[in-house]
Amino acid sequence: MSTEVKLERIPMPDKMPLIGNVLSVDKDAPLQGLMDLSRDLGPIFRMDMMGTPMVMVSGHELVAELCDESRFDKAVRGALRRVRSIGGNALFTGDSHDPEWGKAHRILLPTFSRQAMINYMPMMLDVADQLMLKWERLNSDDEIDVVHDMTGVALDTIGICGFNYRFNSFYREGFHPFIDALSHTLETCMLQRGLPFESQMLKRRLDRMKDDVNFMNTLVDDIVAERRMGGGEKAVNDLLNFMLEGVDKKTGESLSDENIRFQINTFLIAGHETTSGLMSFTLHYLMNYPDVLAKARDEVDRVLGRDIAVQPTLKQVNQLTYVQQVLFEALRLWPTAPAFSLSPYEDEVIGGKYKIKAGTFVTILVTMLHRDKTAWGENAEEFDPENFSKEAMAARPASAYKPFGNGQRACIGRQFAIQEATLIIGMILQRFELIDHTNYELKIKESLSIKPDGFKMKVKLRDDIVRSTMV
């Protein structure tokens, strides 16, 4: 006796003739528009993008099925595919079945091992100290552009740790030209939606994007050339060294020069974009939740001490467990990689009732997955670091929290990012009082990642800090 599965139609918003749902989402805030649709339509809905179906999913039980890598693979399409103009077939934008992706993944995985994290610590401290010194020298009425400074510290950190290259972000007024070029390129990638006459309407942006890509490629080529010219010196055991010298044990091959360029661009993008947003959101929430701030500061004082002349150790950073809970909770409400996409190898049925055809573009809307009340409770929209206590984490399904993607395509640098963010937030709390002088209300700036928009604050050196004379 066979049991026939009763399929249900996937909910869908109203659409227009020919263009379908292309205009259903605000082009300036597509993520927030999709979040609103998810609130209205539920944990799964579909859209018609000029005849091409797209399915959006945010329910953790459905996501658990989608994260089965034997059934679904990462889909590199839409804006992410357009980022190939700078990332090519590197780790973030390459296809899983591309031999170059597998080769690079195997070569570069050791650069994020436990030993690698130990090796990166002095360089992370070097850059963090520059940020602390800048803030210590501010006048009492000077305000801080939070995203600017978090972007600078994150870019400088991946620059020095990954490639022994100094962007020197704290020795210039605005952003480094690489950031300006990158921001414009990502914005242009996001603006393209495949509409008629789009290339003509965006011609000026697209022309500038070509110049920006050339600038970024030239900078990266210079980094590689400088390393090769210094080939007789003692090798720096960083990402770039693994790219230049690493050999894949499976194939016996090394990375091509073109792929090395793509990988460097990718690490410079991913290594600062998401981490800077994470730290910015975290500072916002700390200022808005005094009890959380007090608890985090108490932990910092207990673990790091009050003598700011004594540099934190990696062991101490790993002991800042409540600070990490705050970071993870900020990353829950506003995951800086707010979505990732998959497609089924074959026709699939998920949730026992929703049919998805092979090759369909399925996007996991991480911002709404992290607000799924069936996993996070009725207060899922509220900021609460206790969501990441050991007890809460043990009781929650793993599929409910996916800020770093999934499986073999999960962010390779996630441990690096958390170590960096914990160190920097810890050092800030050790030294400074945070002042919300504008009563800032959170506004989201969307690109390929997300950050607070227009977030300014002031700081004041704590009265109870100690600065010993180190010999």
Query: What would the pLDDT profile of 371-392 be if each residue is shown by its tens digit?
Result: 999 999 999 999 999 999 999 9
Domain span at 163: 30-461
232 pLDDT above the threshold of 50: no
Quick check: is 25 in a domain?
no
Quick check: is 386 in a domain?
yes
Do 75 and 97 meet the contact criterion of CB atoms below 8 Å apart? no
Quick check: is 198 in a domain?
yes
Quick check: is 226 in a domain?
yes
Beta bridge partners of 348: 356
Out of 167, 388, 404, 432, pick the active-site residue: 404
pLDDT tens digits, one per residue of 107-121: 999 999 889 999 999
Out of 151, 266, 274, 282, pick the active-site residue: 274
Q: State yes or no: is 404 an active-site residue.
A: yes
CATH code for the domain of 238: 1.10.630.10
Q: State yes or no: is 72 an active-site residue.
A: no
* pLDDT for the residue numbered 269: 87
| Dihedral over Cα of 386, 286, 338, 14: its sign | positive
Beta bridge partners of 361: 54
Q: State yes or no: is 197 an active-site residue.
A: no
Quick check: is 374 in a domain?
yes
Quick check: is 105 in a domain?
yes
pLDDT tens digits, one per residue of 12-58: 999 998 888 988 888 889 999 999 999 999 999 999 988 889 999 99
CA dist 55 and 41 (Å) reads: 12
| H/E segment holding residue 171 | none
Alpha-helical segments (H) within 3-87:
30-41, 60-66, 78-82, 84-87
Out of 67, 161, 189, 411, pick the active-site residue: 411
Structural domain count of the chain: 1
On whether the pTM is more than 0.85, the answer is yes
| H/E segment holding residue 411 | none
234 pLDDT above the threshold of 60: no
Quick check: is 428 in a domain?
yes
The rounded mean pLDDT for the chain is 93
Do 188 and 202 meet the contact criterion of CB atoms below 8 Å apart? yes
Plot region of 384 (φ>0 → left; ψ -120 to 50 → alpha; else → beta): beta
Greater model confidence, 40 or 237: 40
Name the pairing type of β-strands 432-435 and 144-145. unpaired
Quick check: is 108 in a domain?
yes
